[in-house]
Structure 1
């Protein structure tokens, strides 16, 4: 059904001028000039083919037609305002964060409860479905993404680099070194069980370690979609895996994982905090950003120390 309505902008101006009985006051409320208010009212009168106001000095007096229209229009605008106010309240009460499964499972969920306790008025929803959330469309308030920091229409702030190195479980390493009769070396890795062997991180790290990786087997092996899954598989003794030490330092300290070699490789990727520029000052987003940067800074201080 096609709605047969006058221009909504003109209707809105008429309602304000009629309610306030003054064109200047209506202009101030709507952020318009008095001339613009007069113009919109005139457009509506021409559409209706009847006057809505009797102009008197300092006051806009409604005609019978104007007085008849005002109550229904005021009620309609009150309903619209209430609908948007409800949405604003709901939006202000819930922070939706989109991120990768790795960042969520290996770092964020361990700390997010502390943020929520510090802000009990704010609900927190975490989205890790692997889909790149459209922040400008409101699918999430803010995102923590892996990449190079370039996403159209978004402001990105670098949180930390993504470096990586081989890791495995202590038991798996002990078995490998028992079979070799010596400590494992980087050159041994292409012949040993690897998790996600097709990952380019393996080639990059092996090259940095001075090991030619051309021709290494990339088929077979267990292929997993995230560091979170790969780390769990490594902890269960299924092979060497390429992981970011920053995320797994607790598991390293607790002896669930070991890092056989001190060498780490860093590509041109990092984790970034991304948000629409226009929403950067929204209180809930500002509070989360400030908290996240503090937590990242604390973790970076620990990360600079010797690795266990």
Structure 2
């Protein structure tokens, strides 16, 4: 079979320029001059018979033809890269995951070893930065994100809801005679008491949040730190229920109420759609969906 292919140097340059939406950035990535990038793009446009970019003052915008070609080009280069790494051996066995610290330190760290044992040929690393990763430009394979599940260029799989509820140490609860109704929470310090989650949760519980009755606890800036403080008996924290089930099971925390607050945000596993067929991504996706199936509520 004779493949009908474009000039490969030109399509490589086009893919980089489409990804960055910038000829200069593409040139830097490829170690070329901007003039060389422009020449290769022009060459490809002549072969295609249509413009691929609309040139503006300080940016370039993909045309409809360019956008269609760019999506397929990125996928093709992604698959070729994976095949090349596999042929070299070892490199394709690296799986990089971007996730927030709270998820990594609780749910993920307690279970990731199971995946590693099942697939010892894959080396897993975590990036726990809170920044929003661009999977088309960074060397990261999979992400865990909170939101509504819709991100351009990404395939998303629902893991579980991000509903929240107060939790505290059993020792602290006992010290005030127990926490049996929402008003009892005012007997203990509330960690991160200005967090809107507290207001939402009290409303869901059929009670008005009373800031004037609150015993302020520390505001530590992240759910992970407030959970640690709650375990230490420093106050009640409002936490994502699904991330702390093991803490409840082993007695480090108690969840006094079944009532949940919600902001309609959930946890999702995401990856670049262009990389959806990579074996290591499919393996981890299937494993994650199996591990979280008990946390998904149907309907």
The TM-score with structure 1 as length reference comes to 0.65
The CA deviation at 1:276 is: 1.0
Dislocated runs of 4+, deviation >6 Å: none
Task: Provide closer, same or farther for how the CA distance between residues 183 and 126 of structure 1 changes in structure 2, counting only shifts above 3 A.
Answer: closer
Structure 2 residue 72 is the aligned partner of structure 1 residue 99: no
Task: Provide closer, same or farther for how the CA distance between residues 88 and 155 of structure 1 changes in structure 2, counting only shifts above 3 A.
Answer: farther
Equivalent positions of 1:211-222 (< 5 A) are: 211-213=207-209, 215-216=211-212, 221-222=217-218
Could you tell me which of 31, 46, 70 is aligned with 2:4?
31
Structure 2 residue 240 is the aligned partner of structure 1 residue 267: no
Q: For residue 124 of structure 2, what is the aligned residue in structure 1?
A: 124
Q: In structure 1, what is the Cα distance between the partners aligned to 2:87 and 2:131?
A: 25
Task: Provide closer, same or farther for how the CA distance between residues 287 and 234 of structure 1 changes in structure 2, counting only shifts above 3 A.
Answer: same
Task: Provide closer, same or farther for how the CA distance between residues 269 and 251 of structure 1 changes in structure 2, counting only shifts above 3 A.
Answer: same
The CA deviation at 1:188 is: 3.6
Q: In structure 1, what is the Cα distance between the partners aligned to 2:289 and 2:186?
A: 38
Q: In structure 2, what is the Cα distance between the partners aligned to 1:183 and 1:288?
A: 40
The CA deviation at 1:190 is: 4.5
Q: For residue 293 of structure 1, what is the aligned residue in structure 2?
A: 289
C-alpha contact (below 8 Å) 2:162/2:241 kept by paired residues: no
C-alpha contact (below 8 Å) 1:99/1:145 kept by paired residues: yes
Q: For residue 60 of structure 1, what is the aligned residue in structure 2?
A: none
The CA deviation at 1:222 is: 1.0
Q: In structure 2, what is the Cα distance between the partners aligned to 1:248 and 1:285?
A: 26
Q: In structure 2, what is the Cα distance between the partners aligned to 1:232 and 1:211?
A: 27
Equivalent positions of 1:10-89 (< 5 A) are: 28=2, 31-32=4-5, 85=84, 89=88
The TM-score with structure 2 as length reference comes to 0.67
C-alpha contact (below 8 Å) 1:190/1:216 kept by paired residues: no
The CA deviation at 1:279 is: 0.5
Q: For residue 254 of structure 2, what is the aligned residue in structure 1?
A: 258
Q: In structure 1, what is the Cα distance between the partners aligned to 2:273 and 2:264?
A: 24
C-alpha contact (below 8 Å) 2:179/2:256 kept by paired residues: no
Q: For residue 9 of structure 1, what is the aligned residue in structure 2?
A: none
Unaligned runs of at least 5 residues, structure 1 = 1-24, 37-80
How many residues are aligned here? 224
Equivalent positions of 1:230-245 (< 5 A) are: 230-245=226-241
Q: In structure 2, what is the Cα distance between the partners aligned to 1:276 and 1:158?
A: 15
Q: For residue 109 of structure 2, what is the aligned residue in structure 1?
A: 109
Q: For residue 155 of structure 2, what is the aligned residue in structure 1?
A: 155
Q: For residue 23 of structure 2, what is the aligned residue in structure 1?
A: none
Equivalent positions of 1:156-235 (< 5 A) are: 156-177=156-177, 183-190=179-186, 192-213=188-209, 215-216=211-212, 221-235=217-231
C-alpha contact (below 8 Å) 1:135/1:141 kept by paired residues: yes
Q: For residue 3 of structure 1, what is the aligned residue in structure 2?
A: none
Q: In structure 1, what is the Cα distance between the partners aligned to 2:138 and 2:86?
A: 12
Q: In structure 1, what is the Cα distance between the partners aligned to 2:5 and 2:164?
A: 57
Indicate the SS of the match to 2:244: helix
- CA RMSD in angstroms, aligned pairs only: 3.0
Indicate the SS of the match to 2:224: helix
Indicate the SS of the match to 1:285: helix
